[in-house]
A and B are shown apart, each in its own frame.
Chain A
Amino acid sequence: MNNHCLPLAMTAPGELVTISEISAGPGLQKKLADMGFTPGVQMRVINVQAPGPVLIDLRGSRVALGQGIAQKIAVKKV
């Protein structure tokens, strides 16, 4: 895996990131894809309650993700 990748949970508010990989179980993977979490998409981190949930701007929506999921989404800083 690329060195520049980090879990979404480790990002800071205000950062722009793109999704490089999502490693979740099949059900969750599909749900996330349905919500617009697809590889390559750009997101803006709005709020991080580490250790806790993350709030991001994805495709114009504000989406809250629990820490567990935020660990499973690998992102690259833009």
Chain B
Amino acid sequence: MTMSPKKITIALVGNPNSGKTTVFNNLTGARQHVGNWPGVTVERKEGNCSYQDYNINAVDLPGVYSLTAYSPDEVIARNFIVNEKPEVVVDIVDASNLERNLYLTVQLIELGVNLVVALNMTDIAKSRDYTINVDKLSELLGAPVVPMIASRKKGTEELLKQIVAEFEGKTNTSKIKLYYGSELEEHINELETIISGDEKLSHQFPPRWLAIKLLEEDKEVLQKIRGGTIRHEEILQAKDKSIAHLRSVLGDDAETIIAEERYGFISGLLKDVLKKPPIEPLTPSDKIDKVLVHRWLSIPIFLALMYGMFQFVFTLSVPFMDWIDGFFGWLGGYVSGVSPGWLGSLLADGIIGGVGSVLIFIPPIFLLFIATAFLEDCGYMARAAFIMDRLMHRIGLHGRSFIPMILGFGCNVAAIMACRTIEDPKDRLTTMLINPFMSCGARLPIYVLLASAFFTAHRGLVVFSMYLIGITVAIIMALILRRSILKGPSGHFVMELPPYRLPTITGVLVHMWERGRTFLIRAGTRIFGVVVLVWLLSSLPWGVEYASAGSVIGRIGSFIAPVLAPAGFDQWQAAVSLAFGFLAKEVVVGTMGAIFAVEEGVLGGAIATQLGWTPLIAFAFMVFCLLYVPCVASIATIRSETNSWRWAGFAALYTIVVAWIAATIVFQIGGLFI
């Protein structure tokens, strides 16, 4: 008789850059499921794997340094472990940086979870002449320790074996208790006793952990106590008394002493476990940093890297774009040949013209995602934050705000989400509000289309100028915001710089795909829908000439157009494209494609002849497209990240106003010279 496999739920936790994702991929292969954590837009990755008679469900938690719940990532990681109680917690530890990585391990031990330590990157530790006594480490941590080299898929089998052993309670280790010194222990025990008196509370959470967290004045735990027990007054009083007492005796806050004791435990442990060369030479990473974060060289190098990135993206995407363009040109001709009448019009004019003119930009957009993923994964992005910190201070922000700005070149949605790592609320809000001015990949179709049609000789320069205008406006707006509605000193810049690493191809591709997927889904659904809608509105009322001023779309456009007159582009076609462009910037081009019923290759020419635009009008239009609302998705992201419709609405409105002013200035002042 075969038994049905036993289910084990495990959580993967570890510092950022500990190789957690690689371990997760090794365990689960392609059987992954990506969702969102409830209430927040952090991705939740789950995967399955069968081992012997067990079906292991692995949940990949966000990379964190600590379980102190400063950032949403830490709250998610901790809540999952505390509330959902996975049967085994796998802590991925970087063997070449044990001291820092074990801090998280110690907190997991405090939580009393069933722990398996995956000692990853043992190859890097070895290359630095570190000798690690794995058995001793396991004994002192009270948990099985599995040496691994996840990047070369070594150690996965043994890890699975230990996970099962831990699940069945058949490991040869026994859990340890961290000792915080007699003074602290007295107070921990006292609180623990009171908490244990509440059956419901002590059943939900380990009482000793609650006691420690109370002494650390952990906000989340304080809330849990207030709402979770009738004895909260007694507990909180005892806590306040303990903290006051400890401060008078030890002269420091309990939280500082607790952190010191944890690091003290780790240092003591490492004396027995780790042997390393007495004088540590500079790591390869430090040597690279001698150049890349050099006082004078760093910024020229950064600019050169950015230039290289855009060169890479544009040069490499040309052949791919030609293929796609050729394909849609052929398809449009073929379809209108075989299916005449209104269906042919819908297919050829609407769908192929509209969607085709957007899909052609997949190569550069995906290459931008690859480039930014590479910069992030190799560790350079953190350096960029460091070298830009000084300049960012001048606009009232700090280095961390710089990373979302670069990510914005790929996609503002991803960039706005990345603002989560900025702790100060005003810093974070400012960084989110200026992010839409960083020209994302979806705006590229507009620039390329118009620059090629109107500025043949200088088209590269014109596209480049859009990026510069975007950055300039972002800086100006940051200065204004920090001096008006978001006044205040900039927050503190503390950031760990991971060692440089050559990213794996799969890693970068997965990273690219995570961001590119959203773009493709959008192109497949929203853009498709808009294009069909544009075609329909252009064809109604029945019998009207397709996309003429008399069609429904023409009338809508004519209604909006006068507002845009000061900026030069008061044609209804422009107004309609901009209106639909709220959905996504690339839709501006898609709408034009559907209105003029031509595909990408000749669309620029059609705009020039049929709208009678001058290069100046085209430029003003590009500036408007650059600056106004990036897309509904980015506004929705600002709403979910700030948890406020007001800020989302503000972001939408103020970007339109800024765009209108800037485009008008370009058109009016430009007109004086031309």
Contact: A60 with B389, CB < 8 Å?
A: no
Q: How many residue-residue contacts, CB under 8 A, span A and B?
A: 115
The answer to whether A59 and B253 have CB atoms under 8 Å apart is no
CA distance A64 to B98 in the complex (A): 19
A59–B389 CB distance below 8 A: no
Q: What is the predominant secondary structure among interface residues of chain B facing chain A?
A: helix
**Inter-chain contact B286/A46, CB cutoff 8 Å:** yes
Main secondary structure of the interface of A (DSSP, over half): mixed
Q: Mark A1-42, 1 if CB is under 8 A from B, else 0.
A: 000000000000000000000000010111111111011010
Contact A38 B259 (CB under 8 A): yes
A68: chain B residues at CB < 8 Å are 492-493
Interface segment out of the listed B62-70, B185-193, B360-368, B620-628: B62-70
Contact A36 B493 (CB under 8 A): no
Quick check: is B494 within 8 A (CB to CB) of the other chain?
yes
Is B389 in contact with A53, judged by CB distance below 8 angstroms? yes
B216 to chain A: closest CB distance in Å? Answer: 7
Q: Which residues of A contact B493 (CB under 8 A)?
A: 53, 64-66, 68-69
CB proximity of B186 to chain A, nearest CB, Å:
21
CB atoms of A55 and B255 under 8 A apart:
no
The distance from the CB of B128 to the nearest CB of chain A, in whole angstroms, is 10
Distance of A28 Cα from B494 Cα, bound (Å): 10
Which residue in chain A gives the minimum CB-CB distance to B286? A46
Q: Shortest Cβ distance from B91 into chain A, in angstroms?
A: 17
On whether the beta carbons of B492 and A69 are closer than 8 Å, the reply is yes
Among B216, B259, B285, B494, point to the contact of A69 (Cβ < 8 A).
B494
Contact A47 B293 (CB under 8 A): yes
A55 with B293: in contact, given A64-B493, A64-B495 (CB under 8 Å)? yes
Given known contacts A47-B293, A60-B99, A61-B100, is B385 in contact with A30 (CB within 8 Å)? no
When distances are taken between beta carbons in the complex, the residues of chain B under 8 Å from A33 are: 255-256, 259-260
Select A65's contact among B260, B393, B494, beta carbons within 8 Å: B494
> In the complex the two chains form, what is the Cα distance from A52 to B496 in whole Å?
16
Complex Cα distance, B260 from A36, in Å, reads 8
Given the known inter-chain contacts A38-B263, A49-B295, A49-B390, please indicate yes or no for A66 contacting B256, CB distance below 8 A: no
Which residues of A lie under 8 Å from residue B390 when comparing CB positions? 49, 51-53, 67
- A52 contacts across to B, CB distance below 8 A: 389-390, 393
Q: Judging by beta carbons under 8 Å apart, are B256 and A47 in contact?
A: no
Please tell me which one of the listed residues B98, B295, B495 contacts residue A60 in the complex, with CB atoms under 8 A apart.
B98
Task: State the CA gap A67–B497 with chains docked (Å).
Answer: 16
Closest CB-CB distance, A38 to chain B, in whole Å? Answer: 5
Q: Is the CB of A49 within 8 A of B387?
A: yes
Contact of B465 with A by CB under 8 A? no
Count of interface residues, chain B, beta-carbon cutoff 8 Å: 39
Q: What A residues does B100 contact at CB under 8 A?
A: 36, 59-61
Closest residue to B498 on the A side, CB-wise? A62
A30 engages B256 (CB within 8 Å) = yes
Q: How far is the CB of B383 from chain A (nearest CB, A)?
A: 9
| Nearest B residue to A51, CB-CB | B390
**Residues of B close to A41: CB separation below 8 A:** 263
Let me know if B286 and A34 touch, CB within 8 A.
no
Number of interface residues of A (CB under 8 A): 32
B399 at the interface (CB under 8 A from A): yes
In the bound complex, residues from chain B placing their C-beta under 8 Å from that of A65 are 493-494
Q: A33-B259, A46-B289, A49-B295 are in contact. Are A59 and B494 (CB under 8 A)?
A: no
Q: How far is the CB of B299 from chain A (nearest CB, A)?
A: 11
**CB contact list, B360-400 vs A, under 8 A:** 382, 385-387, 389-390, 393, 398-399
Contacts of A47 in B (CB 8 A): 289, 293, 295, 386
Residues of A within 8 A of B387 (CB): 49
Contact partners of A69 in chain B: CB under 8 A: 492-494
Distance of B115 from chain A, by nearest CB (Å): 20
Residues of A within 8 Å of B260, CB to CB, are: 33, 38-39
Contact with A along B500-524 (1 / 0, CB 8 A): 0000000000000000000000000
Give the chain B neighbours of A49 by CB distance below 8 A: 293, 295, 386-387, 389-390
- Distance between Cα atoms of A60 and B103 in the complex (Å): 12
Set of chain A residues within 8 Å of B255, measured between Cβ atoms: 29-30, 33
Residues of B within 8 A of A46 (CB): 286, 289
Q: Give the chain B neighbours of A36 by CB distance below 8 A.
A: 99-100, 103, 259, 263
B97 CB contacts on chain A under 8 angstroms: 60-61
Question: Least Cβ distance of B457 to chain A in Å?
Answer: 41
Considering only residues 90-111 of chain B, those with a C-beta below 8 Å from chain A are 96-100, 103
B155 contacts chain A at the CB level, 8 A cutoff: no
Decide if B494 touches A31 in the complex (CB within 8 Å). Answer: yes
Min Cβ gap A50→B in Å is 9
How far apart sit A26 and B247, CA to CA, in the bound complex (Å)?
Answer: 13
Contact B499 A62 (CB under 8 A): yes
| Chain B min CB distance to A54 (Å) | 9
Q: How far is the CA of A73 from the CA of B285 in the complex (A)?
A: 25
- A28, closest chain B residue (CB): B492
A71, chain B: closest CB distance, angstroms: 11
**Inter-subunit contact A62/B492 (CB<8 Å):** no
Distance in Å from the Cβ of A46 to the closest Cβ of chain B? Answer: 6
Which of B70, B216, B259, B289 counts the most chain A CB atoms within 10 A? Answer: B259
* Residues of A with C-beta under 8 A to B286: 46, 57, 62
Tell me, in angstroms, the Cα distance from A22 to B639 when the chains sit together.
37
Give chain B nearest CB distance to A17 CB in angstroms.
Answer: 16
User: Are B293's CB and A61's CB within 8 A?
Assistant: no
Residue of chain B at shortest CB distance from A24: B492
Cross-chain pairs A/B with CB under 8 angstroms, 17 sampled: A31-B70, A34-B66, A36-B100, A36-B263, A38-B256, A38-B263, A49-B295, A49-B390, A53-B399, A53-B493, A55-B293, A55-B386, A60-B98, A62-B496, A64-B382, A66-B398, A67-B393
The 5 closest A-B pairs by CB, nearest first: A66-B493, A52-B390, A33-B259, A59-B99, A62-B497
Known interface pairs A33-B255, A47-B295; 9 further A-B residue pairs with C-beta atoms within 8 A, sorted by A's residue number: A31-B494, A59-B99, A64-B385, A64-B493, A64-B494, A65-B494, A66-B492, A69-B492, A69-B493
